[in-house]
Amino acid sequence: MSTEDLFFEEWRACLRAHYQYVVRTEDTVTEPTLREVLLLTGLSEHEIEALYEEARARGPLTPEELALLDPPKEESDATEAESSA
């Protein structure tokens, strides 16, 4: 296995997860481009459609899921941002 292939499958797994996130957040700007990247990495239209259907079946991200992705900022972080502006 060459060093170029070392993390290829992990990268593809990340792309698949990101595609499902994009679908669940209804990001219609990113979805077509990401679909093209998935095709270029070797996924078939059928596989991408399955990812799409799975994401749609799960529905939009819940507030709890969004909180995990973007945890609230600490009070000190907000104060630092204000003072540096």
* Global pTM value: 0.73
The boundaries of the domain holding residue 40 are 3-84
Q: Got the DSSP string for 30-57?
A: HHHHHHHHHHHTT--HHHHHHHHHHHHH
The count of domains in the chain is 1
34 vs 83, which has greater pLDDT?
Answer: 34
44 vs 64, which has greater pLDDT?
Answer: 44
Structure tokens at 76: 């000190």
- pLDDT recorded at residue 5: 81
In tens, the pLDDT along 4-42 reads: 687 999 999 999 999 999 999 999 999 999 999 999 999
In tens, the pLDDT along 48-74 reads: 999 999 999 999 888 888 888 776 677
